[in-house]
Amino acid sequence: MLNYVRAFQTAPFARFFLNSLIITAMSTAVIVATSTVAGYVFGKFRFPGDTPIFMLFLATAILPLETYMVPLYLTMRNWHWINTYPGMVAPYLVMSFGVFIMRQYFSTALPDELLDAARIDGASEWRMFVRIAVPAAASHMAAVAIFAAIQAWTGFIWPLIIASSQDMYTIEVGLAFFQQRYTIDYGAITAGATVSALPIIAVFLVFRRHITEGIAFSGFR
């Protein structure tokens, strides 16, 4: 218990925790929205080049952040987004794996006949998406949200680079407070790491069923 008290006294851990919550919430909401819309388009519409475009989109998953970190940072500087929440969440707005999960669900589990019946009744494409596709894919959207939340919560390199003041540090970056030049406060850093891991563990335990369902419908066996 003493280590936890010392961790919060040594660094403004409550502020770091709040920053991580804000960034994670923003990233998760945008990723769920973009993944659902893109997955629906790729899964239910046919247009010239749809398969190559989807494959090219999936190929971006193999590119680590380090490969485009410098141009992204320069872009954030030009937009005056350095040390801001929009700048910190910028790399976490689209997730190719989330689009893949949603596309697999819409293409295999949502019957075309259901959408055709709605079209005959006069429903617009947007109304079918909102009233039929989104409610039917709620479980898979939850799975995407979990993966997105983990990705944003555990981010380290980008928040370390884009945050120029201590008030904007995330909890992962804040753990560096306990590492000095020649010594490391192992008790405090362990307590801080435990606090950092608790939200992700809690989310996984509560929504683990959605992860299983989402991966099952994505095509992995």
- Burial of 139-167, coded b for 16+ CB within 10 Å and e otherwise, reads bbbbbbbbbbbbbbbebeebbebbbeeee
CA distance 187 to 1: 10
| Total Cβ atoms within 10 A of residue 9 | 10
Number of domains in the chain: 1
Residue 127: the pLDDT is 92
Structural domain of residue 94, as residue ranges? 2-218
Residue 2: the pLDDT is 75
For 95, the token pair is: 């997730």
CA distance 146 to 69: 24
CA distance 31 to 100: 12
Residue 140: the pLDDT is 87
- State if pTM tops 0.75: yes
CATH number of the domain within which 146 lies: 1.10.3720.10
Query: Using one digit for the tens of pLDDT, what is the confidence trace for 33-92?
Result: 999 999 999 999 988 988 899 998 888 888 888 889 999 999 999 999 999 999 999 999
**Which ranges of the chain have pLDDT less than 70?**
181, 209-221
Residue 210: the pLDDT is 62
With CA atoms as reference, report the closest residue to 168 among 91, 88, 90: 88
